[in-house]
Structure 1
């Protein structure tokens, strides 16, 4: 009998997980609560909850162009079709994901408009309770394996500042941002200078009267903003009309715009699944993906500051090598020891819990580990090199970095055309 695999989500992670499991001879069912593939790349005007009373998943906004070049946003075995530009519209990524799903016949395994309510271990299997949204029915299915691919850009993190409830202006999280029009003529405080904070501060400054970016980066980004954008340190407290900053200054704002990231959130997992999340540290996981307490469950796509689709494909191949029985996992004791050793090394370098799955410039080490342990093909070194280069350019020249064009020469080499 074929092993049954439940894949939760049909975004970038879910599609390559399903495709890899199918190629490994498994019976695959993908549950997707939207009516199409793409996950966070699906745009909707809706915010809050949708027509079925479920929280809107996507954080996509109108006019978004990728902040990474397309040359590293495809899958290892299925690149994004060539075109003149490297930085492309979000709609092109969605077209690509549909192309991928069609090419590998993944869509026939997807149950659209199916919302996963609960996953729990039961009699050496996984009981998965799912709501068929279209027909308003609840079904229960059993699987041998579960691959959690629900993404991590859907549940906002909003800081709890002193006097937050006394502030009289508008408060918005980037999850609910769709277009810049509501910021026209406003004085805006953008909290956070990660990729979304930088990008959105630049975008809304076209219409806003004034934009202040509050952050705690050790060095100010070299990127030049428009003249109506200034940078300030962290917020100390909020007031009725604005905020006090930690440097002792005060400013008034009509809108506070939180670009403060997202929580890893798995509301469908029961307590006895054996995984807990503490300040975005999902634990205990072997190699950031396999549930050590119940190793027939895996999480695809947790690491960040990575070549996302490339890494997710590598993780899926890593996981399926063990799920399919081609390789045997280390013992629970060995996996716990391996994970503890890695995390202690991270803590010793000053990593916080919320950075437990952050890779960044050292991502190549993670890819090497996955490929070596599972004896699978690694990612091409050129992919990581382009990622590191483009990420730095984003920080250094927010206005112009998307004009650059990358071309891959071979597995190690790329060129850049300005």
Structure 2
């Protein structure tokens, strides 16, 4: 079970090869040894050329995003005695699971330029008091534009069971159903935040320190200061002043040794580039727009006796269609053909209500005679030559784009590049991303951030990380790992415990066997029978896999909402 490898003449590395990481005796051994491992002196150290060496000790860390991933990262870093600041543009924790009846400001038609920069006063710190109507914005829209209410509707439930949608330290009750409502998850995430003193208005246990959290705070810019090799965040916080009917805006900067990006994959709504859509997007029926993105959907009652066109075939499209089916007269779904369906996409297609009429992609929207009488008399031309008429409303369930323009390594299509499998940014590992499923692998990745930055775990040299990345080894695309999650579990467990044996620190345990069994049953019933095959849980060699393969399936049960609508 244990093997000693001599990597060089300078030191030795003890590697744990997970022959069977679901072996309960191994888990017991690792757990019982954790206290002893913390006492191992830092005597087995390699020369600096064998791993990444930081410019100076990492003491302060900013965490951007207070969803399930960011909260875990902040909690673990605090536990490891880092000075932490947690920022989120929303007024409370929860990330995408922070439900509110507020709807976001109207999405732009077309999408905003990827590199559009926000306004930052020339001299900081700065304060400004916004009046209603200033710069053509109401106070309500200014507030919503700042914090961006999340695209979660009232009846939304998970497409993953409770056992893989759970944060540590605050388990669900034993009688909780395996399919959770968004309200259950919101309470769960807030409970985790409160347990770790990270909720709104919480102060650290040591009152001499500044608050850890800063909600209603948006990161406007992130810069690396070369002279000090630190990160500078330019921040903007809004506060509603009800007594004077104004909004107070404050801009300032804070410097940190390291930064965790935990903003998630869904930042801005995507509007497809379809001829005529821009003109149709301006049309209203009364005081409501007739064409809008699914981010604004909240409840089904407004669709009573209407004919609705849903554009898209992912989670939002199918679940919103199910929600409005008891009210709408007709539901039509415009979808693209897919040759090789990911199981999550297939599941979404299968979950459209039986009354749905499927039609091909839209070719163009015919110009309307007026913009104040709705779209019912308009014509929507499809790519097969047919025409739709009599549509009351169009819901664009067309996905989201990654528009965190303050980040240094986002490509033009909104994807982060140059990430090591641990989530560290290869050109500068003082920047890290929460790029795994937070409910399951998040606790391992958060621990990895803490261990690397405190010096009880080491990354390969940047040259080696770059070579591995260029060769496709442990190369994860997008903000969620595309490798089979079980292999990634084992990779984290083996690596973290290996580093703790050498450098000190607690061991981690593999994912509990009983949770795996519940998940297997759930995936058989709710997704596709046989979806979770034995190979997914035992074949360690599938880790570098970069594409979906039905035989070696990725099982990151997440809200699969990409742009392939």
Question: Following TM superposition, by how much is the alpha carbon of 1:296 offset from its aligned partner in structure 2, in angstroms?
Answer: 0.4
Q: 1:116, 1:130 within 8 Å by CA — same for their partners in 2?
A: yes
Is residue 91 from structure 1 mapped to residue 206 from structure 2 by the alignment?
A: no
Question: Following TM superposition, by how much is the alpha carbon of 1:155 offset from its aligned partner in structure 2, in angstroms?
Answer: 0.6
Give the root-mean-square deviation of aligned CA atoms. 3.1
**Superposition map of 1:40-119 within 5 A:** 40-46=96-102, 47-48=104-105, 49-51=141-143, 53-54=145-146, 56-107=148-199, 108=203, 109-119=212-222
**Superposition map of 1:4-403 within 5 A:** 4-46=60-102, 47-48=104-105, 49-51=141-143, 53-54=145-146, 56-107=148-199, 108=203, 109-122=212-225, 123-134=228-239, 136-167=249-280, 170-215=290-335, 216-218=337-339, 223=350, 225-240=352-367, 241-252=378-389, 253-269=391-407, 273=408, 275-287=409-421, 289-300=423-434, 302-303=435-436, 306=437, 308-342=438-472, 356-357=478-479, 359=481, 362-375=484-497, 376-380=508-512, 383=515, 386=518, 390=522, 393-394=525-526
Q: 2:99, 2:186 within 8 Å by CA — same for their partners in 1?
A: no
From the CA coordinates, give the structure whose radius of gyration is larger: 2
Q: 1:71, 1:79 within 8 Å by CA — same for their partners in 2?
A: no
What CA distance in whole angstroms lies between the structure 1 residues aligned with 2:473 and 2:415?
10
What CA distance in whole angstroms lies between the structure 1 residues aligned with 2:383 and 2:495?
47
Worse overlay, 164-173 or 376-385: 376-385
What CA distance in whole angstroms lies between the structure 1 residues aligned with 2:381 and 2:472?
39
Aligned residues between the structures: 383
User: Could you state the TM-score of these two structures normalised by the residue count of structure 1?
Assistant: 0.81
Query: Relative to structure 1, is the Cα distance of residues 6 and 373 closer, same or farther in structure 2, using a 3 angstrom cutoff?
Result: same
Paired position in structure 2 for 1:407: none
Question: Following TM superposition, by how much is the alpha carbon of 1:82 offset from its aligned partner in structure 2, in angstroms?
Answer: 2.6
Question: Following TM superposition, by how much is the alpha carbon of 1:372 offset from its aligned partner in structure 2, in angstroms?
Answer: 3.2
Paired position in structure 1 for 2:370: none
- Where structure 2 has 5 or more consecutive residues not aligned to the other structure, the ranges are 1-56, 106-140, 204-211, 240-247, 284-289, 368-377, 498-507, 530-536, 539-565
Query: Relative to structure 1, is the Cα distance of residues 67 and 242 closer, same or farther in structure 2, using a 3 angstrom cutoff?
Result: farther
- Where structure 1 has 5 or more consecutive residues not aligned to the other structure, the ranges are 347-354, 398-410, 413-418
Query: Relative to structure 1, is the Cα distance of residues 383 and 341 closer, same or farther in structure 2, using a 3 angstrom cutoff?
Result: farther
Query: Relative to structure 1, is the Cα distance of residues 384 and 68 closer, same or farther in structure 2, using a 3 angstrom cutoff?
Result: same
SS at 2:470 equivalent: helix
SS at 1:276 equivalent: coil
What CA distance in whole angstroms lies between the structure 2 residues aligned with 1:105 and 1:143?
21
Q: 2:89, 2:147 within 8 Å by CA — same for their partners in 1?
A: no
What CA distance in whole angstroms lies between the structure 1 residues aligned with 2:513 and 2:180?
23
User: Could you state the TM-score of these two structures normalised by the residue count of structure 2?
Assistant: 0.61
SS at 1:339 equivalent: helix
Query: Relative to structure 1, is the Cα distance of residues 345 and 291 closer, same or farther in structure 2, using a 3 angstrom cutoff?
Result: closer
What CA distance in whole angstroms lies between the structure 2 residues aligned with 1:320 and 1:378?
19
